[in-house]
Structure 1
């Protein structure tokens, strides 16, 4: 009975720990816009930056992109929501930001 309980509850426990992350090296404009504070203009700037400068090495490299200003964005949250490797995994129901 104990093993059955563990088998049934394990997926439920780990389902809550799934973290959404947008890979800033491969994400589309629409995927980037699902990030809090990233507008279409900022998403285009990120894509333009990576096409000219190459892949981002760290999430902190986002501050090198024109329009990404730590004074106006919650960078700690943004760093938690992005990655520089692996696939883009969007939050369920994530929608692009307006303009």
Structure 2
């Protein structure tokens, strides 16, 4: 169980870097390349009356073009990939995780022995 929690913690750390456009703070929005204080304020104002479900929704805001939307899309893709990876890990039975861990430990042990000889 501890192993699964450790793997989930690692996966969630990947998610931490991704930004949810609907709930992100101004500072989080400004961490995206191409979004400064003014654009962050525009996003916050826009989402008060509109739902942002995908980065392309930002094109509805004046001044948001393909470059900014592309930068946001890259960040969202990171989140999607990490979410899928966590889902895959959750679905694996704990015996399979133990087997994979043991295989990794065996490989590491063999590499250490090889390096020492």
Structure 1 length as normaliser, TM-score? 0.56
Structure 1 segments (4+ residues) deviating >6 Å? none
1:88 is matched with which residue?
none
Number of residue-to-residue matches in the alignment: 70
> Is 2:75 aligned against 1:78?
no
1:63 is matched with which residue?
59
Deviation string 1:20-64 (CA, Å, 9 cap, x unpaired) is 2110000111110000000100000001000022x2121211111
Which is strand-richer, 1 or 2?
A: 1
Q: How does 1:44-63 map to 2 (within 5 A)?
A: 44-53=41-50, 55-63=51-59
Residue of 25, 31, 34 corresponding to 1:28: 25
The answer to whether the 8 Å contact 2:55/2:69 transfers is no
RMSD of the alignment, in Å? 2.9
Structure 2 length as normaliser, TM-score? 0.49
Which has the greater radius of gyration? 2
Q: Which runs of 5+ in 1 are unaligned?
A: 1-6, 86-99
Residues 52, 74 of structure 1: alpha-carbon distance in 2 compared, 3 angstrom cutoff: closer
Between 1 and 2, higher relative CO (CA 8 Å, sep ≥ 6) is seen in: 1
Q: Which runs of 5+ in 2 are unaligned?
A: 80-117
